[in-house]
Amino acid sequence: MKILTLITDFGLKDYYAGMLKGSLLSAHNNLNIIDISHNIPNYDIVQAAFVLKNAYPTFPKGTIHLVSVNNFYNNQSAFLVIEHDGHFFIGADNGIFSLVFQEKIEKVIELNYQGTGTGEVNRVFAQAVAELAAGKKLEEIGTPLTEIMERITFQPVVKSSQIVGSVIHVDNYENVITNITRTLFEKVADGRDFNLYFKRHDEIRKLSWHYFDVPVGESLCLFNSAGYLEIAINLGKASSLLGLNIDDTVQIEFV
């Protein structure tokens, strides 16, 4: 049974996710469909890329990952199948995959799409999934490409004693996740102490390993399971209480 994951901005209120699943199962009924998330903010490929990038490596090799977010980004929408790192990825050529993969993608093809709306997109997705599940090679199901649409996001600004980053995600607990990785932090820190500044709140001066390392209601920072610097409040909602939202700036000074 082929594993297929889904990431969409459909939400759970309407029939859209069900319609997509119905199309997929009608094309190939021996699928193990895993919902990663249907709650991506509407059209937000940056958030979809963040979720996909951190979720897909935990799945077995050979898994198919379908992303349906902001499919109709212009009047020339195109749809891709990518083979990379032992996994398959299906979605619109709207820049999302350039956000997921920093390295050169191994193989990519464009699917035949006639441009007749959501129903046709679901059919195209379902056919591609069925053909991959049947063991077909990418070259057999679409037209090979050498380039995909690129999307550039804000990267941390690094100086000898400073990192200026930004908020890239707020999770369900309202923990605030930045684009500063553990690798970058440790490289610039070089063993030095630090002060983390954001908005007009008191700075945070040490890393925690757990949320409960500080008293209830106090702020902390730690590196989460994906290796990103996270600002949180023990048993509290950091985004609301600290006024931190996506694209807000955070600054680390090493001393």
Domain residue ranges in the chain: 2-144, 157-254
* pLDDT mean over 83-91: 97
Q: Give residue-wise pLDDT tens across range 211-230.
A: 999 999 999 999 999 999 99
Is residue 51 scored above 80 in pLDDT? yes
Instruction: Tell me if the domain spanning 2-144 has CATH number 3.40.50.10790.
Output: yes
Q: What is the pLDDT of residue 118?
A: 73
End-to-end CA distance of the chain: 54
pLDDT band of residue 206 (cuts 50, 70, 90) is very high
Q: Is the pLDDT of residue 159 over 70?
A: yes
- At residue 75, the pLDDT reads 66
Place of tokens 């997921």: 100
Task: Render pLDDT for 117-157 as a digit per residue (tens, 0 to 9).
Answer: 778 899 999 999 999 999 999 999 999 998 999 988 778 99
pTM of the shown model: 0.90
Domain 157-254: CATH superfamily is Bacterial fluorinating enzyme like (2.40.30.90)
Q: Where are the beta strands (DSSP E) in 63-218?
A: 64-68, 79-84, 87-92, 107-110, 143-144, 157-159, 162-170, 176-181, 194-198
